[in-house]
Amino acid sequence: MKQAAFESLHVSEWSAFERLLENDPRAPLRGADFPRLYRRVCQHLALARDRAYGPDLVDRLNALALRGHRVLYGAEGMRRNQLAEFFLRRLPLMVREELPLVLTAALLFFGPFALVALALQRYPDFVAYLLSPHELADLQRMYDPANPHPGMRPADSNVLMFAFYIWNNVKIGFQTFAGGMLLGLGTIFYLVLNGLQIGAAAGYLTQIGYGVPFWSFVAGHSAPELTAIVLSGAAGLRLGAALIAPGRLTRRAALTAAARRAVQLVYGAAALFTIAAFVEAFWSPVGFVPAQIKYAVGASLWSALLAYLALVGGRHAR
């Protein structure tokens, strides 16, 4: 069959299919005729290639088939409550499935943290290797027991601090995750670095006697924030582990599969960072609440979060 004859024979079907594709994306498959016309277009594309018709025709049919393919196989699932499903089931399950990596990340963060915080009690001068004089002066001012809003400079406002915590902390979380692509080394670097920095601040302030303002400030948001860092780290380590030990897959396939799981931990981390930013901006700096209450709130948040990660969502994974 000559190309011109082929075109005039089928062009009405192609335009009908094109019109269907323009239909409202919310209509199921854009219309009842979609599957039949899509199969026709696929068949015509195969014929046009086989018969070496002109490149224009082949390109047009290829474009139509691609658009049809995207509608047919890219249709979003109809399940409702995906958000609830994610937080009440998938996220805690994922954390438990990846428990070895989560614990590794926790060790990489809390290990240096505890080590430095303790070491500074014994060797206070060591802090000079970890924090600059400028940072030390800032810390001293922020956590001075005389400061009515601990953790804030006099010029800061709550809303500004909230924005800053989102901008800065979530970025650190994302970088910790992304560092996994460097065979996990970037992730390890960020986890250890953050552990050292926070540990240095904690150890220094405790040692100079500003412990109460500091620990009561961080108690509230410590649970969501540190868990978020650990989850970002676990997600990054998952990428790195897939690259180092891909198992029976190719490295690329292992990486893609790992990323699909890891990114869910990152969703969880981002949500926790946001909660932490709220608490840190609006609750932690409140000056008139006694330290004991702040410790109690912090402890309950820790137990609630750990219980959530350990218990919610049932036992079965996928």
Partner 1 sequence: MVLDTAHEVPTPEGIDIELRPAGPMARASAWLVDLLLRLGILITIWITAGLLGKFGLALTLLSAFFLEWLIPAWCEVRWNGATPGKKALGLMVVHDDGTPVRWPAALTRNLLRAVDFLPLLYLFGFVAMCLGRDFKRLGDHAAGTLVVFRPALGGSHDVPPAAALAPARALSLAEQRAIVDFAERSTALTADRAAELAEIAEPLVGTARGAAATERLIGIANYLLGRQ
- Give residues in contact with partner 1 (CB under 8 A): 3-4, 38-39, 42-43, 45-46, 49, 52, 54-60, 62-63, 65-67, 69-70, 73-74, 76, 156-157, 159-160, 162-164, 166-167, 170-171, 174-175, 177-179, 181-182, 186, 239, 252, 255-256, 258-260, 262-264, 266-267
Q: Least distance (Å) from partner 1 to the CB of residue 7? A: 8
Closest CA to 229 of 158, 285, 168, 298: 168
End-to-end CA distance of the chain: 52
| Cβ-based nearer residue to partner 1, 39 or 141 | 39
Helical (H) or strand (E) element with 150: none
Q: Least distance (Å) from partner 1 to the CB of residue 196? A: 21
User: Which DSSP category does 128 fall into?
Assistant: G
Q: How far is it, in rounded angstroms, from Cα 53 to Cα 57?
A: 7
| Cβ-based nearer residue to partner 1, 52 or 245 | 52
Q: Least distance (Å) from partner 1 to the CB of residue 40? A: 10
Q: Which two tokens stand for residue 127?
A: 């802090």
| Cβ-based nearer residue to partner 1, 221 or 294 | 221
| Cβ-based nearer residue to partner 1, 25 or 287 | 25
Q: Least distance (Å) from partner 1 to the CB of residue 16? A: 15
205 alpha carbon, distance to own chain's centre = 31
Instruction: Indicate if the alpha-carbon torsion angle 209, 210, 216, 221 is positive or negative.
Output: negative
User: Which DSSP category does 125 fall into?
Assistant: G
| Cβ-based nearer residue to partner 1, 115 or 192 | 192
